[in-house]
Structure 1
Amino acid sequence: MRIGAHVDPVDPLAGAAARQADAVQFFLTDPQGYKTPQPRPDAEALRASDVEVYIHAPYIVNVATLNNRIRIPSRKLMMAHAKAAADLGAQGLIVHGGHVGGGADLDAGFANWRKAFQYAESDGGLPLPILIENTAGGDNAMARTFDHLARLWDAVGEFGAGFCLDTCHAHAGGEELLGIVDRVKSITGRIDLIHANDSKDGFDSGRDRHDNIGSGKIDPELVIAVIRAAGAPVIVETPGGADGQAADIALLRGRAGS
């Protein structure tokens, strides 16, 4: 079982070593900007490393929106980050499910996700899996509730979309963690990555605030049960820098692997 952390992009392998991590996740650019990723000097080292690499797309990517000024740049940015991530030997590109504006037709958002995959196919195809991540808030979100997730998968499942399950987002989004792996797999058929995060806020709060394992509102045994049931690689996106994340990794490795 590979367990790692979201780390600073400056030196991801050093970040992995500091946390005794088997995997790393990082951003290639400012997560709040539309900048195109540039070649990295450590690309060869990342490809050669035993540490698994995952890339997180910028938070601003929203391919579901009806706003052309956001959707079209988002679509192009997702493709650019996918190509850059593949150049690093990454296992996948994590992209939030996104949302449509208040009062908008949710079906249009699901259709826009489908168009994003069709756009990628017309641009030479995706060089690695897009791992759609469930989100914590928003009534018009594509992947907060699993009834919406099912409709999203009806639109994109045939394109080989992958899934990233975030435990904090599920809890804050109103989805019980007990039995969640079976419920997700009944929709997507797969879980490619777990974001193992505790939550500072209560169930169905809609608030995306991560906490260290056992320090927030989620019973750590539920997080461990999710990891065991999913059998997928794990990334912690928890506070406390290298020390805090190393403690979370050690706890999960010791408990989930036992």
Structure 2
Amino acid sequence: MFYIGCHLSFSKGYRAMGEQAHSIGANTFQFFTRSPRGGKAKALDLKDVEELKKLVDEYQFDHLLAHAPYTMNACSNKDYTREYAEEVMKDDLYRMSFFKNSLYNFHPGSHVGQGVEAGIDMIAGMLNRVLSPEQETIVLLETMAGKGTEIGRSFDELKAIIDQVDVKEKIGVCWDTCHLYDAGYDLVNDLEGVIEEFDQKIGLDKLYAIHINDSKNPFNSHKDRHEKIGQGSLGLDAFVRIINHPKLKHLPFYLETPNEIEGYKEEIELLKANRT
């Protein structure tokens, strides 16, 4: 099964997202549980949750993915920011507990001058307070482009976090193709090498999802500006290889390209046409 979807707006609720995803040919999707800039989430509407669960069965969706707000920083130098990150993750994991095979993705954080090692310790500490063996949702560390003091710019940094997590069966990684390329992982000319390095350092069993985005920036630029598929520095051929690679093709892919809903529909059709 080729699981392909995009990022959808939660503004109209769970069922509306399911219907919209189906209308553009998606069989999975990603969404923010609250504003990407933070704040409180809307009160949970259990009736709306049940409506989406019905659509998940009807349309054979799988791997619904919630994305944490961008303001969530588990390794901030401010106590209240770290406390907010922990509260948000706890609340979001409760919300995702209603959906089978669900995923929860977050940017590891920025150490803001405290140092990578200190940041990694704080991120792992939060995960150890939040994760439990009983939860079903898998929490994913996203690969980052490496701008500023971001943590997660290398497989080594992600491994260092995972190594400290107690409930390792509930933690994984989400690749972002734009971020990886901008961070210096050559998905265009050395996809096999990138896959092999990840497998050696972290393990492919820990790779649960891929954000599939082209990049406006050149290789190893350490920036983060997504581009539409085939219109950036990676190019369409690289994505054809990624979605068809035998070690990656079983994963769910989520578009985060600069698009409106019709643009996502066109990209989904493009990727499906190139799936072998």
TM-score, length basis structure 1: 0.90
Matched, 1:114 2:124: yes
CA distance in 2, matches of 1:23, 1:172: 26
In structure 1, stretches of 5+ residues that fail to align are none
- Deviation per CA, 1:36-80, whole angstroms, max 9, x where unpaired? 452134211222212232111111111123321211110111111
CA distance in 1, matches of 2:134, 2:110: 24
In structure 2, stretches of 5+ residues that fail to align are none
Match for 2:73 among 43, 62, 74?
62
Q: Which residue of 1 aligns with 2:172?
A: 162
Whether contact under 8 Å (2:178, 2:215) holds in the other structure is: yes
Further displaced range: 44-53 or 93-102: 44-53
Matched, 1:83 2:94: yes
Matched, 1:223 2:250: no
| Partner secondary structure for residue 251 of structure 2 | coil
Q: Which amino acid in 1 is paired with 2:173?
A: F
253 and 226 in structure 1: CA distance in 2 versus 1, 3 angstrom threshold:
same
Matched, 1:249 2:264: no
Whether contact under 8 Å (1:6, 1:235) holds in the other structure is: yes
Over the matched positions of the two proteins, sequence identity in percent amounts to: 27
Q: Which residue of 1 aligns with 2:48?
A: 42
Matched, 1:93 2:104: yes
Whether contact under 8 Å (1:34, 1:73) holds in the other structure is: no
227 and 188 in structure 1: CA distance in 2 versus 1, 3 angstrom threshold:
farther
| Partner secondary structure for residue 23 of structure 1 | coil
Kindly report the root-mean-square deviation, in angstroms, between the aligned alpha carbons of the 2 structures. 2.0
TM-score, length basis structure 2: 0.85
Further displaced range: 34-43 or 75-84: 34-43
CA distance in 1, matches of 2:263, 2:91: 32
CA distance in 1, matches of 2:77, 2:164: 16
Q: Which amino acid in 2 is paired with 1:144?
A: R
Q: What's the offset of the Cα at 1:97?
A: 1.7
Whether contact under 8 Å (1:164, 1:193) holds in the other structure is: yes
Matched, 1:196 2:212: yes
Whether contact under 8 Å (2:6, 2:256) holds in the other structure is: yes
Further displaced range: 107-116 or 40-49: 40-49
Q: What's the offset of the Cα at 1:206?
A: 2.3
